[in-house]
Structure 1
Amino acid sequence: MALVELNHVTKRYGALTVLDDVSLSVQKGEIIAVIGRSGSGKSTMLRCINGLERIQGGDITVDGVRVNDPATNLRNLRQQVGIVFQSFNLFPHLSVAGNITLAPRVVKGKDPGMAREVALDVLRRVGLEDKIDAFPDELSGGQQQRVAIARSLAMDPQVMLFDEVTSALDPELTGEVIKVLEAMANKGMTMILVTHEIGFARRFGSRVVFMHQGRIWEEGAAAATLASPRTPELETFLNAVLH
């Protein structure tokens, strides 16, 4: 059974259809790179998977749980589905440890000592264990984004969603974050990434999904799809991004 399944999903804002009959199946351990122009529905799709946006048609399931079922406990679901945004969304008044341990303590009931151990472990994974007592304003953008990733990892999710996590960063800091994503890919984490990092998509993506006008326009093995687009729309998009 697929870990994440979207079946004929429709999402509208008033008269505007943002997702138009979208179906996608993601197996455990897959890395799905979602590409496309702004406004093609990529970020909305991630927010629907996590239950942050309600859908008007179709079904979304994560590990067999229907996200759009009114009876579903979304708070429990979000423990399984980590999401990291392009703006780091760290609490400025909390230290790195405070940011990372908040959810494990409040949601999972971990005691402070154990929660700090978890924080150290996930910070080690993103190369920032020495920053555990720093505050967000003492960190670079790349470091803040890596803390945001560590915060999601601390909940031990089944799948991680990344929404343009490098788009607010300059190239050097982008490299830092890409290294963390690569390490997660090598560990077998299931990931769905909305990204402009075509090189990362080509190297680490199991599949690439090209969205256009609220639909999945092309989908296939990452390297092959990026090397030889089947539609003029994807070809035009890649030419714009790569040149």
Structure 2
Amino acid sequence: MSLVEIHGISKSYGAVQVLKDVTLDVAKGEIIAVIGRSGSGKSTMLRCINGLEPVQAGVIRVDGTQVNDPKTDLRKLRQEVGIVFQSFNLFPHLSVCDNITLAPRVVKKQAPQAAREVAREVLARVGLEDKLDAYPSQLSGGQQQRVAIARSLAMRPKLMLFDEVTSALDPELTGEVLKVLESVAQEGMTMILVTHEMGFARRFGSRVVFMHEGRVHEQGPAAAVLAEPKTPELQSFLSAVLH
């Protein structure tokens, strides 16, 4: 059974239709790299998956729960679906530990000491265990993004969504964040990433999904799709990003 089922979703902002009849199934443990030009609907699709954006048509299910059913408890759903954005969204007045443990303590009613242990463990996974009591202002952009990923991991989600998580970083910092994504991928986490990092998509993506003008235009095994794009739209997109 698919962990994520997206069937025929459409989404408009006013008169502008950003998603047009999008269908995509994601199996447990798959790593889906979503690529495409700005404005092709990639980020909007991610936000629809965890209910941050309502859809006008179609159905989205995560692990059997229908996301766009008015009766669905979205707060509960979001405990299962981590999302990390390009802006790190850390609370500047809270320490790294408090940023990470806020949700587990409030939502999962974890005891402070247990939550601190979880924070220590997820920081170790992103290579920042020495920053437990640091503040965001004391960290580089790459470190802040790794803390944002650790914060999502602390909720032990079934699915992780990454929206252009390296696009605000310079190349050197991008590398350290991609390393963390690689290790999360190797742990078997189901991941959907909107990304410009074609090398990462090729090495770690089980599948590449190319979005164009609000539709899934082409998809298939990552290495094959990137090596031999079938459509002129994907060919021109790849020649623009790879050169």
Structure 1 residue 188 displacement after superposition: 0.5
Runs of at least 5 residues in structure 2 that lack an aligned partner in the other structure: none
Structure 2 match to 1:222? 222
Give, in whole Å, the separation in 1 of the partners of 2:69 and 2:39.
Answer: 27
TM-score under structure 2 length normalisation: 1.00
Taking the aligned partners of 2:83 and 2:229, their CA distance within structure 1 comes to 29
Q: Which residue of 2 aligns with 1:201?
A: 201
Q: Report deviation, 1:218.
A: 0.2
Distance 1:112 1:134 in 2: 17
1:10 — aligned with what?
10
Q: Distance in 2 between matches of 1:132 and 1:19?
A: 40
C-alpha RMSD of the superposition: 0.3
* Number of residue pairs aligned between Structure 1 and Structure 2: 243
Match of 2:38 in 1: 38
- Tell me the percent identity: 76
Q: Aligned ranges for residues 175-194 of structure 1 at < 5 Å? A: 175-194=175-194
Residue identity in the other structure for 1:12:
S
2:154 aligns to what? Answer: 154
- Residue in 1 that maps onto 2:74: 74
In structure 2, distance between residues paired with 1:235 and 1:12: 27
Aligned ranges for residues 101-120 of structure 1 at < 5 Å? Answer: 101-120=101-120
Q: Secondary structure at the match of 1:3?
A: strand
For structure 1, the 5+ residue unaligned runs are none
- Counterpart of 2:28, as a letter, is K
Runs of 4+ in 1 over 2 A off after TM superposition: none
SS of the residue corresponding to residue 60 of structure 1 reads strand
Structure 2 distance, partners of 1:57, 1:127, is 42
The corresponding residue for 1:234 is 234
Deviations 1:28-78 (A, max 9, x none): 000000000000000000000010000000000000000000000000000
Q: Counterpart in 1 of 2:164?
A: 164
Superimposed CA distance per residue, residues 198-224 of structure 1 (whole angstroms, 9 cap, x where no aligned partner): 000000000000000000000100000
Classify the secondary structure of the residue corresponding to 2:2: coil
Amino acid at match of 2:19: L
**Distance (whole Å) between structure 1 residues aligned to residue 26 and residue 144 of structure 2:** 28
Which residue identity lines up with residue 164 of structure 1 in the other structure? Answer: E
- How many angstroms does 1:183 deviate by? 0.3
Who is 1:20 aligned against? 20
The CA distance in 2 between the partners of 1:92 and 1:182, in whole Å, is: 27
Aligned to 1:51: 51
Equivalent residue letter for 1:170: D
Whole-Å separation in 1 of the counterparts to 2:24 and 2:132: 38
User: CA offsets, 1:161-210, max 9 Å, x none?
Assistant: 00000000000000000000000111110000000000000000000000
Q: Equivalent residue for 2:140?
A: 140
2:98 matched to 1:92?
no
> Using the alignment, how far apart are the partners of 2:153 and 2:187 within structure 1?
13
C-alpha separation between the residues in 2 aligned to 1:71 and 1:79?
17
